[in-house]
Structure 1
Amino acid sequence: MTRGAAVAIVLMILLVALNVPVEAHVPEFPEGGESLEKAVRIEDPTKSWVVYSDLHGGGSPHYYLLTMKQGERLFVSLTVPQHYIERGFQPSMALIGPSIEDNGTLPSYVQVPEGSGAMVLTGPLPDRPEYEPFSPSAFYELGEIVLEAPQDGDYYIAVFDEGTGGNYALAVGSRESFTAKEWLLVPISSVSIYLWEGQDLLMVLAPSVLTFGVGLAAMLGTSRRRIQPVDVLWVLATGAGLLMLASAASFIYQMLWSLSQTGAEVTAAVTVIFAVLAIVLGLSALRVAHRERPMGKVPTSSRIILLAIGGFGLLLWAGWVIGPVIAIVTAVLPGGLLTRQLGRTRPARDAR
């Protein structure tokens, strides 16, 4: 077993053993919801989702539809990123539905179906934001509603604000469940989440682009000292490895940026482990690319390592899906293609 593989196994065991209170949600970016008739339907509302949206404010609420059965756990949480809290955006929400007792006063512009009650939640602003470890971010939780559905039927969540409006997130459901597609697309969605927080696109991309560029320059420099020329395997394995290192850099930057707002959080250990595992996978791919091989051959061990890197990369969100896919494809391509030379052979330098 290589040192990198041992480190990866230890960290994954630690990730499971930490037992810190974290929850992963399936991200969604829906459109619509400006009226009860156009309410955004939340499929499988007991499953853990998080909806990212923006509210125009000034009497333009958003509506979400949850079809529940009696006794099912109804969980809803409203959060706002710090950037919009600082701008004075502090929306409220209401649970509207059958057998819901009226609690609080709704603005006149919020629609209520006939025969329904409304539970209004306008909570105080917390002292500081909370930390989200899976897609590192900082947000304020303005309140949550947790109850058992009193009867079968349609329940609505209304999010509203009479002020300037801003971005908010609505977490729905508490049963953590991902399809393969949902899990794989989480890292792709992370860029949209960072922009939703109010970050600048340049700052979101800069850590990854810088890491990829510096890493590529270093790999090109070391390739000049190799006896073997650059070939297709070198290019693909290097690309996969650098993408994983770039995603780790993004993870670390977002963690530090978020912790600067929330203060130290024990759940940041989850982010650190994900980032370190991505680094281990990336460096392992670069090692496969750089190692000397028999001319015209691809060792079986290299293929196995690349398959493992790709599989774990998909599981751990390393390399934004692209890196792991490149590693897996490289592992199964014909040897004749992988060993096709893309540069001249350079004689080894004499040791002095």
Structure 2
Amino acid sequence: MKKILSLFFIVGLIFANGTLGFIDNEDGTYDVGFTSDTPIGGFQFSVEGELLDASGGLSADAGFLISTGSGMVLGFSLSGATIDQAEGLLIQVEGSGITELSGIVMSDAAGGQLDFSFDPDWGSSGNSDCTDDPTGELGSFGVACEQAIGFFGCTTSPWGDLVELCPLSCDNCPEDDGGDTEITDGCDLPLNNLFILSDGSVLYNTDTAIGGFQFTVEGATPSDASGGASGDAGFLMSAGSGMVLGFSLSGATFDGCGTMTVVVLDGEPSGLSGIVVSDASGGELSFSYYGEASDVLGCTDMLACNYDEEATQDDGGCEYAEENFDCDGNCTAEVDCAGECGGDAEDLGCGCGNAAPSIACEDTDGDGLGNPGTET
């Protein structure tokens, strides 16, 4: 009996409500995950970045109503349902440039506020297959890895060896081999990316039909290219001077994901550079090599109103202020007598914009003295 009470006491000390964090899936979606020692009856948080929508996860499984707006995500249940798991995927968010979750408000089944904080390292790992509590053993006790480790450290616990139960948090994940073992099919790539395997297979994933391509192979010398989706589409392909070129004379295209072509190589390829991919009409598509930092599209002209200091490639969308105005619409020139910014109207004695008098202004009231107030 004392052991049972001691265990309850230990669990009571460990519980400290929970954390919220996210993983960027690099496809326009973000997995928002949580750890919690208390069933969740509702939640609210703001997204630092562009928020488009939110759905799925354990909140959807519990029948929560989800709404988004003004950068905020709100989830609750009208039936009193709760999310009882100790950790997992709370919801998936669609958006871009998301860097942080703020304004976190989590409640229990009765509406009482829970103590939650943002965890910037939630779910981070060099190996996506390595997760905490993969067997759910800790979760069956209603305990999260973070809570157990916070009390016992990465050692033994009443539930077992936490190094084995919580390999992610205890830094016990097997090393990720990377390279070919990580990406073996084009459909594993993020959208609009290329990747070359050691056997010369060039993998691709696109959201737009491809009408032509060109790239340089790094670390190896290409002598020929054939096959793949481009070969099936009847593309003409050539390889020389380190470059591979593919195009169609008939206007054929290929789309989706898979193997673009297979390049015959002398040496071990280390990547692709100088990537140019075009659509059916010859327009350039924005493609990156997987594993390298992608170009950030935006306005790169410092004189433009929408200049983006983080942009590395101009997107052609720079916006400029109108003549005589700044970017906020404020007049930067003199205002003439007609109230026009930068205008040239003057009052030379006979009213704004009228010609100067030669002897007297025009007599419009018939008193023989010229216009009222301008008689000379």
TM-score, reference length from structure 2: 0.25
Instruction: Tell me: higher relative CO, structure 1 or 2? Use CA pairs within 8 A at least 6 residues apart.
Output: 1
Which of the two has greater helix per residue?
1
TM-score, reference length from structure 1: 0.26
